[in-house]
Structure 1
C-alpha cells in the first residue's frame, strides 16, 4: 500500500490514518472509566483535582476518589443497579466529576442535560431515557414538577451530606467493578447528531477510557498544568476534556459555575491557569475586550483550545495580534465520538486555521457527497471516522444509528472537510442542517414543529443566519396564513417560552412560499438565497 508519511493517506484504501504515535496500552486487564482514572493513573493524592474558582473550595485527588466510591455505595444502597440510568442536571461544580464517576462506578449509566432547558424539553428527555434517579439542585427542582418518575428528584447538596466517605488513609476500592464490562453503556448524552432532533448518544466505558488515554498521551501527563473549566460539563466537550483528559493527566482544574470574561481573567491571574478549553464566542470576546485583559497578569496562560465551531480567519488573526504569547489552537469532535477527533498539538505555528490532526489510532475518509468515493488530500468531502471512540449508537433509535454509522463502522459526521498534504484537517461547511449558536446545537426541525402550531403560520422553515458574536443564530422563514397579520416580534415571543435561551428565534423573514423537494424536504439553500436578495434590496433602497 502507498501510505504517505506526511498526510497519513493510503491511495489504495482511500483511508487517512493518524500521524500521532499510538498511546501505550491502558492496562493488562479491562477497566471501567472510574477505575482507569482513579486507580490506574499516576496521581499524587494530595494534589488538587478540582478547585472552585469563586469559593476556593478544593477537592484533592484523594477526595475525588473517596467521593466517587461513596457516591457509588450510596446509589447501590438506594437500589440503583447495573444498566440503570441516573440523571444529573446541574451547573458546573467541583462535585460534578465525582458524582458522574460514582454513577458509573456503581455500574449505572450517567446521563445529563443542559440545565437551561425548559420543563417541556427536560420532560421529553426524561420520557426518553427513563432514569431511575434524578440528582439536581434546589433552583432546578421545579423543572421536574409533574413528571411521571419512580421517585422525586434528590437535591445534590442533601445527597452529598449523607455520603459516608472512606478515611484518607484507607485503601479506597471503587466498589466491585469486575461486574462492569468495557462495552457496557457508561454515558448517555443528548445530541441533535447529523439527522435533526435530539437523540440519546450511548458511549461505553471502552469509548471513554480510550478518549482519556488519548488526551493524556497527546497533552502529556503534566501535573503542573492547570486547566480552566468554563465550558459546560454537561456537554461532551467539557466532560471529555475535564473529567476524562485532565484527570487522566493528573492536572488541576479550576471550575467556574458561570462564564464571565472578568472571571476568566481573574482565574488565570490568581490560579496560574495554563490552558483554557473554550468556544468561539469566548475567543471573540477576548479579542474585543483586549483592553480589559490588559489589566490582568496572563503570563501563565500558554494555550487556548477552541472547539464547538470553526473559528473564522479574521478572529484567529486578531487573537494572534492581541495575544502574541498565547497559542490559539482548535480541536473538533462530536458527542457521537466521545470527545475530540482532532487536536492541533504538534502543528507548526502558534495560530492555526486547521482543526488539527486526527487523534491517535483513528481512521478517516473524505467522501465525495455525490459519488460516495474516497477523496485524496486537498479535496472537499464529508468527513467520516472509524475507531474506538465512536459511540455504541442512539438510544432506542436503530434507524438514526444506521444513518449515522454505516455497515463498515464509519461514523458520518455531516461536516464538509478536507485534509491537506500535511495531514491537517479543515472544516469547510456543514452538510447537516444544525445551527451552531455559541457552539450549542440547535435543530431547525424542533423550532419548526413549535412555530407550525401558531394559528397564523401556514408554513415555516428555520435556517441559520450569520452573527459575529454567536457564530450563527436561528432565523424563521414564515409563510403567513391567509387572514392573519402576525408580526415578527409575536413569533419570536411565541417560541421564547418553549425553548432554552440558546434555541430562541432571533430573526424572522416572511416569505411567499417554502421551497421544497418533491419528497417535501425543505431546500434551505434556496431560502438563504432569498434572504440575500432581501438584504440587497434593502441596501439599494437606502442608496
Structure 2
C-alpha cells in the first residue's frame, strides 16, 4: 500500500455551500468570481452568493428541498454556478447532464436519477422539452434560464426576492450531486457523491494544485463533467480565483479568451493539448499570461506535454481521477519540474493506493525505479458512496474495505510517482468524454443489416482514442462504413459517434459469450 506523502487535511463537516461561500473574506466579496468569456460581463462573489440564495429560495418555495433531484442541462455560462449551487443550497441534489445528449439520453438520465425538475437554456430547449415530456415533467418544472414562453426563467425566479431556506442534513451522507459514469464498463450509472465527497476533494486539491486569488482560470471544460464541476466550479471558487467561462471549445475563441482575459491557469483535456502544440493559429495570439496548463480526463503523452510547454513557455501538469473519486486522486504539483510529465504524479492528501497483480497479490513499491504493473485501487474521503440503485455494480467497484477498483493498470516508483500504463476496463475516453462500448453495440445491433458488432477504442492519427466498430453484416445484405457511422450518429450524442469501421466475419467471443476485445485490439 502507498499512502500520500502529504499530511492529512481537515475536512469540515459542513455543506458544500457553507464550505465554499460561508467565510468569503470581506476584501474578496467585491472581487470578480466569474467572467462571461463571450460577453465580458462579470459577477462578483457578493453578487454570486446573493443569486445563489435567491435561487435557493425560489426553489424552496416550489417544494424543492432535501430528497429532490434536479436535472441541469446547461453549457458553461455564469448562470450555471448560480443554479448549481442554488440547488445544493436548497438541500436538493443536482444531476448534471451532458449538453450533447440526445432527447432519449436526457430522458434516460432523468428517469434513472428520479429527477422531478429540469433546468436548461433556450438553445437546448427542444431536446429538453422532448425529454421532459417523455418522463412526464410539466413546463412549469422545466426552468429555462434565459426565458421561454410557459417556463420559469432565472430573472423571474431571482426577482421574487425569496430568502434562502434553512435546511438540515448530514453532509457525510447527503447526496450533493449525481453525475453519470459508465464506471469500468456498461451503461451509465448515477454516481452518488455527498457534500463530504466534494468538500474532501476540494480540500485535497488545495495542497497540490496551487492556484490562488490572483489567478484567472479558463473554464472551458464542461461543468456537467466531474472534472469541471470539482476543479473549476468548486475548487477555483474556493481559492477565490476568477473563472472565465466558455460554453464550448473553439480554438479561435479559446485563444481570444486567453489573450483578452489574461488567464493564468488553463485546465484542459488532451485533445486541446494537440491543438496547442500543432495548430498555426496559436502563434497569432498572446498566450503569455498562461502559467500552468493542467490536463486531465484522459492520458496525456509526455512528448505532447513537452511540446505544449515549449511552445507556450508555461508549466504543463496532469492529474488522474474518476467520477467515482470526485474526481482527483493524483496530480503533478506545479512546483515539481522533476516529475515526468507522462506520469499522473503523486497521491493527493488523505489518499491511499494499492496496485494488485493478476494473481490478486499486492505489488510493492520498489527500492528504486518503477514497480511491476497492477490494477490501481484507491481509498480516501473522495470515494463515492456508491451507484444509485445499483448495489451489484457498487459491490463490483467498491469492496468491503473501502477500496475502489479503478480498472486502470498503473506502476509506482520508489518515491510515490504513479503512471497509468493500461486499462482493464472497456470504457473508451474520446476527448475526455466517456463512451461505453455496450451502448454503441446496442445501437449497432438495431440496424437490420448488422448481424453482430463490437466496439473498442483505437488511437487516431494524433494518438487520441476513438470508437471503432467491428461489424458482421447479415447474410445477403449490403452495408458500407458510411452507412454504419450514419446509423450510430442518428442515435447518440456527437462524442459517442463511431469514427472507424471494420467489417469482419465473426466477433471473437469467450465460451460464456463475452466479447474478446483483446483479440480485436491485436488485429
Equivalent pair of 1:48/1:61 in contact (CA under 8 Å): yes
Residue of structure 1 in register with 2:105 after alignment: 121
Residue of structure 1 in register with 2:472 after alignment: 479
CA distance in 2, matches of 1:221, 1:62: 21
Q: Deviations over 1:110-141 (max 9, x none)?
A: 11111111111111111211211111112222
List gaps (5 residues or longer) in structure 1.
1-14, 531-543
Equivalent pair of 1:109/1:185 in contact (CA under 8 Å): yes
CA distance in 1, matches of 2:238, 2:309: 30
CA distance in 2, matches of 1:220, 1:344: 11
Residue of structure 1 in register with 2:85 after alignment: 101
Q: Deviations over 1:380-404 (max 9, x none)?
A: 0111000100011111111110011
Residue of structure 2 in register with 1:130 after alignment: 114
List gaps (5 residues or longer) in structure 2.
148-152
1:160 matched to 2:157: no
1:224 matched to 2:214: yes
Q: Deviations over 1:259-295 (max 9, x none)?
A: 1222222222222211000000100100112x42222
1:173 is displaced (CA, Å) by 8.1
User: What is the aligned counterpart of 1:333 among 311, 321, 328?
Assistant: 321
Residue of structure 1 in register with 2:150 after alignment: none
CA distance in 1, matches of 2:287, 2:340: 18
> Structure 1 436/164 Cα, relative in aligned 2: closer, same or farther at 3 Å?
closer
> Structure 1 215/519 Cα, relative in aligned 2: closer, same or farther at 3 Å?
same
1:149 matched to 2:132: no
> Structure 1 396/446 Cα, relative in aligned 2: closer, same or farther at 3 Å?
same
The alignment covers a number of residue pairs equal to: 507
Indicate the SS of the match to 1:417: strand
Residue of structure 2 in register with 1:267 after alignment: 257
Q: Deviations over 1:468-519 (max 9, x none)?
A: 4471111111111111122221111111110001111111111111111111
Equivalent pair of 1:354/1:427 in contact (CA under 8 Å): yes
Indicate the SS of the match to 1:211: helix
User: What is the aligned counterpart of 2:400 among 383, 386, 407?
Assistant: 407
Indicate the SS of the match to 1:213: helix
Residue of structure 2 in register with 1:362 after alignment: 351
Counterparts of 1:181-220 in structure 2 under 5 Å? 181-220=171-210
Equivalent pair of 2:60/2:165 in contact (CA under 8 Å): no
User: What is the aligned counterpart of 2:336 among 331, 339, 347?
Assistant: 347
CA distance in 2, matches of 1:235, 1:117: 13
1:227 is displaced (CA, Å) by 0.5
CA distance in 2, matches of 1:51, 1:165: 22
Runs of 4+ in 1 over 6 A off after TM superposition: none
Residue of structure 1 in register with 2:246 after alignment: 256
User: What is the aligned counterpart of 1:429 among 422, 429, 434?
Assistant: 422
Residue of structure 2 in register with 1:32 after alignment: 15
1:81 is displaced (CA, Å) by 2.4
Equivalent pair of 1:228/1:255 in contact (CA under 8 Å): yes
